[in-house]
Chains A and B, each alone.
Chain A
């Protein structure tokens, strides 16, 4: 089954525009555009904070095709906030180890661990088909009374004014207008809203293409990310193998530039690659195939008045490093708590400027890492190839060369250096997350019950205190013993002010009531002022 060439995983009931009647003219405080993982997560964050949520999406289905399959620990922590993390981890394939091979050797030249700090709730990575993630998000949204998903409602026009926008929505029943104070554009790399507003999306094109062949077969192989430079089955190029649920494996082959896409995905042309990697005697069936090229680019600004961009609509990277959805999710986690406070009137509108500051920094870091990986995987000159091969040759024998092997630096949280919302350290700290960094997880014991630190942080701001006598505060407080692993990771006797997105806003060795008050005020202040 497919819709305009897009294969369908699950059909959704078209939302009859005729049902809207007078309500169509209703004024919305915000509308979410797009039903990919980022739009759905944005909607679910706002719904869980008690807002009336409307999503418009051109699709009336969840698309098939595994697409983005690697979800980072940070993404899983965010899914936990949204109540679907455990479902994703249960269905997904957990992996922490990546191995890099070179040539025909069966010994890796390099291997890495995606969860260097152990004893945290979530693993380094989980692989799961994107449609499962979207399906679970939709399930959670559909279970809520304050959510309306308008399937089959395509944005075809936008008229932006200072205090809001009027969207033109095209449906099979005709067009209608929709007024909204805020428009949250989560409509993907080909963002209609971005195009309609004529906004920039500049960056670097990489002249290379890759074949994704997701195939189903039964074979016992470890749940690890395997990457090859110059393997015998794709000489002079690269290949990647990842495990997914349901006995499906992601095989990814570098093809070079100027390939015939239609020819590349013919079964007889893919077979030598697949057989070369898996072995001659493996029975497999194709699940999803695709040829892709990529760019590394971002919008200069994500906040345009009251139209705000997130996810692929705002930034795009190569797939090496799993930095697509894994950077879109922190976008909406960051945006949702700020928009929530602004809509409630407890923070100034200018707080939203900090979303732009923090997440463009996140996008820059992702683009930097992704571009570096791509330059290693696809060297741009003879000299660059010489250095790359020298690194691979040395890495087998010499430890120092191994960290230089770059098959993708996998997504990790971006620390917000110099965030306008952070209070710089006054006190000396030997350990613990710095202001602007995400909280590290640890097992904790509260009133005789075992749990995880991140799970016990509030949806709002939390004052996290280790030891006796926390400062006075109106905020939610989480008091933990400084004797356990958590105390070791944060420092005995310390106090942390943690934002709703689990980023440290401030920390003290000896906090006063006034310290906390000032830091909290700063963390919800007008960042554009």
Chain B
């Protein structure tokens, strides 16, 4: 596992509108509980894929508006 990277905060995704739409559609018709679980699984898949502790910790930090 890499531990040394920094979080990429510049645009890095092609056809981002399609991806965003897929994200919203996935939650359609789900209860709050199921939505929360979907989000949790998605986060777990992605942090494993990223596999860089520093990047993930930085993203957690930046996502927490209270810490901004």
Contact = CB atoms under 8 A, between A and B. Distances in A.
A382 B37 CA distance: 11
B48 to A, nearest CB: 4
A386 interface: yes
Interface string B32-52: 010011001100110010000
Nearest to A391: B44
Interface SS of chain B: helix
B37 A386 contact: yes
* Residue among B36, B44, B45, B48 with most chain A CB within 10 A: B44
Interface in B20-40: 33, 36-37, 40
B48 A390 contact: no
A383 B48 CA distance: 19
A196 interface: no
Interface residues of B, number: 8
B37 A389 contact: yes
Contacts of A404: 44
A110 to B, nearest CB: 14
A386 B40 contact: yes
Contacts of A383: 36
Interface residues of A, number: 12
A386 B44 contact: no
Nearest to A393: B41
Contacts of B44: 387, 390-391, 394, 401, 404
A389 to B, nearest CB: 7
Contacts of B41: 390, 393-394
Given A393-B41, A394-B41, A386 B36 contact: yes
Contacts of A393: 37, 41
B64 to A, nearest CB: 13
Interface SS of chain A: helix
Interface string A70-106: 0000000000000000000000000000000000000
Nearest to A400: B48
A383 B41 CA distance: 12
B40 A387 contact: yes
Nearest to B34: A386
Nearest to B42: A390
Nearest to B33: A386
B9 to A, nearest CB: 24
A384 to B, nearest CB: 10
B33 to A, nearest CB: 8
A393 B44 CA distance: 11
A210 to B, nearest CB: 26
Contacts of A400: 45, 48
A1 B33 CA distance: 52
Contacts of A382: 36
A393 B36 CA distance: 14
Contacts of B33: 386
B61 to A, nearest CB: 17
Contacts of A387: 40, 44
A401 B36 CA distance: 18
B56 to A, nearest CB: 13
B47 to A, nearest CB: 10
A297 B42 CA distance: 35
A389 B41 CA distance: 9
Nearest to A399: B48
B26 to A, nearest CB: 14
Nearest to A389: B37
A393 B40 CA distance: 11
Interface string A373-402: 000000000110011011101100000110
A401 to B, nearest CB: 6
A484 B41 CA distance: 46
B50 to A, nearest CB: 12
A386 B48 CA distance: 18
Interface in A381-434: 382-383, 386-387, 389-391, 393-394, 400-401, 404
Contacts of A391: 44
Nearest to A383: B36
B54 to A, nearest CB: 19
A26 B29 CA distance: 81
Given A386-B36, A394-B45, A401-B48, 18 more contacts: A383-B36, A386-B33, A386-B37, A387-B44, A389-B37, A389-B40, A390-B37, A390-B40, A390-B41, A390-B44, A391-B44, A393-B37, A393-B41, A394-B41, A394-B44, A400-B48, A401-B44, A404-B44
Interface of A: 382-383, 386-387, 389-391, 393-394, 400-401, 404
5 contacts: A383-B36, A386-B33, A386-B37, A390-B41, A391-B44
The 3 closest A-B pairs by CB, nearest first: A390-B40, A400-B48, A386-B36
